[in-house]
């Protein structure tokens, strides 16, 4: 059964589950099947640097080694900031739930979207009530699908068909303004004296 998320809005709690949306789910996908000349299914493999060892899919992994060349258990690793201070984990929304804060369409336009999620409802009446409550509005909150060290920004939008979560990073724009005005001081040109404009024929 899919994990549910507790969404708090106006004192009410809704508990739908979510699923990630991607191009494959929206438009379908193409999968290639490879066969040999006898019609037997083949799988992709990789050739190691020795030029003779073949390995199949799932036979490689990224490992972390210490300065002695020994593998380090990932549980022993910790994230630190630039000052070496241990970072605090950001819990998953499945643990913390979501508290909706009403925002604006500017919050939506400023979001660099990395992922989109759709809701699954066990009860159509609950879905209709929720959609009616959030109709025509944009809501903001912190969203983290998995517990890690970097939470994401997110907005919730909806239409007549359902509600959607868009998560990513809110962009900060620095706009130019004319608050600081610079006054240019241009020296006035002195009018040439009339005698300077007269022609001296003795120069010829």
**Range scoring the smallest mean pLDDT among 5-14, 87-96, 133-142, 182-191:** 182-191
The per-residue pLDDT for range 146-196, each reduced to its tens digit, is 888 888 999 999 988 899 999 999 988 776 666 666 666 667 666 555 555
**Range scoring the smallest mean pLDDT among 29-33, 56-60, 194-198:** 194-198
Determine contact, residues 99/141, Cβ cutoff 8 Å: yes
Reported residue count of the chain is 204
pLDDT score, position 113: 92
CA atoms within 13 A on the CB side of 155: 19
| Nearest-5° Cα angle at 50, 68 to 34 | 120
pLDDT score, position 160: 83
Question: Residue 118 pairs with which residues in a beta bridge?
Answer: 19, 164
Question: Residue 142 pairs with which residues in a beta bridge?
Answer: 153
Q: Where are the domains of the chain?
A: 1-26+85-184
Question: Residue 13 pairs with which residues in a beta bridge?
Answer: 8
Residue 21 pLDDT greater than 90, yes or no: no
Query: What radius of gyration do the chain's Cα atoms show?
Result: 32
pLDDT score, position 127: 93
Residue 96 pLDDT greater than 80, yes or no: yes
The per-residue pLDDT for range 98-137, each reduced to its tens digit, is 999 999 999 999 999 999 999 999 889 999 999 999 998 9
Residue 197 pLDDT greater than 70, yes or no: no
pLDDT score, position 137: 93
Give the 3-state DSSP-derived string for the chain, with helices as H, strands as E and coil as C: CCCECCEEECCEEECCEEEEECHHHHHCCCCCCEECCCCCEECCEEECCCCCCEEECCCCCCCCECCCCCECCHHHCCCECCCCCECCCECCHHHHCEECEECCHHHHHCEEEEEEEEEECCCHHHHHHHHHHHCCCCEEEEECCCCECCCEEEEEEECCCCEEEEEEEECCCCCCCCCCCCCCCCCCCCCCCHHHHCCCHHHC
Phi/psi of residue 157, each to 5°?
-125, 165
Determine contact, residues 59/53, Cβ cutoff 8 Å: no
pLDDT score, position 44: 80
Determine contact, residues 40/131, Cβ cutoff 8 Å: no
Higher pLDDT among residues 25 and 165, named by residue: 165
**Range scoring the smallest mean pLDDT among 32-36, 74-78, 168-172:** 74-78
């Amino acid at each position: 059964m899919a994990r549910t998320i507790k969404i708090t809005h106006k004192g009410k709690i809704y508990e739908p589950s979510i699923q990630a949306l991607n191009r494959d789910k929206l438009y379908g996908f193409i999968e290639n099947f490879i066969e040999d000349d006898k019609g037997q299914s083949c799988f992709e493999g990789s050739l190691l640097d020795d030029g003779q060892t073949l390995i199949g899919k799932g036979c490689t992994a990224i490992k972390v080694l210490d300065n002695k060349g020994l593998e380090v258990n990932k549980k022993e690793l910790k994230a630190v900031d630039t000052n070496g201070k241990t970072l605090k984990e950001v819990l998953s929304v499945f643990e913390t739930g979501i508290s909706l804060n009403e925002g604006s369409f500017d919050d939506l336009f400023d979001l660099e979207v990395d992922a989109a999620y759709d809701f699954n409802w066990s009860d159509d009446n609950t879905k209709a009530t929720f959609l009616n409550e959030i109709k025509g509005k944009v809501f903001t909150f912190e969203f983290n699908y998995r517990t890690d060290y970097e939470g994401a920004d997110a907005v919730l939008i909806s239409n007549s068909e359902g509600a959607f979560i868009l998560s990513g990073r809110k962009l900060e724009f620095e706009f130019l303004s004319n608050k600081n005005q610079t006054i240019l001081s241009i020296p006035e040109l002195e009018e040439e004296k009339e005698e300077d404009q007269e022609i001296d024929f003795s120069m010829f």
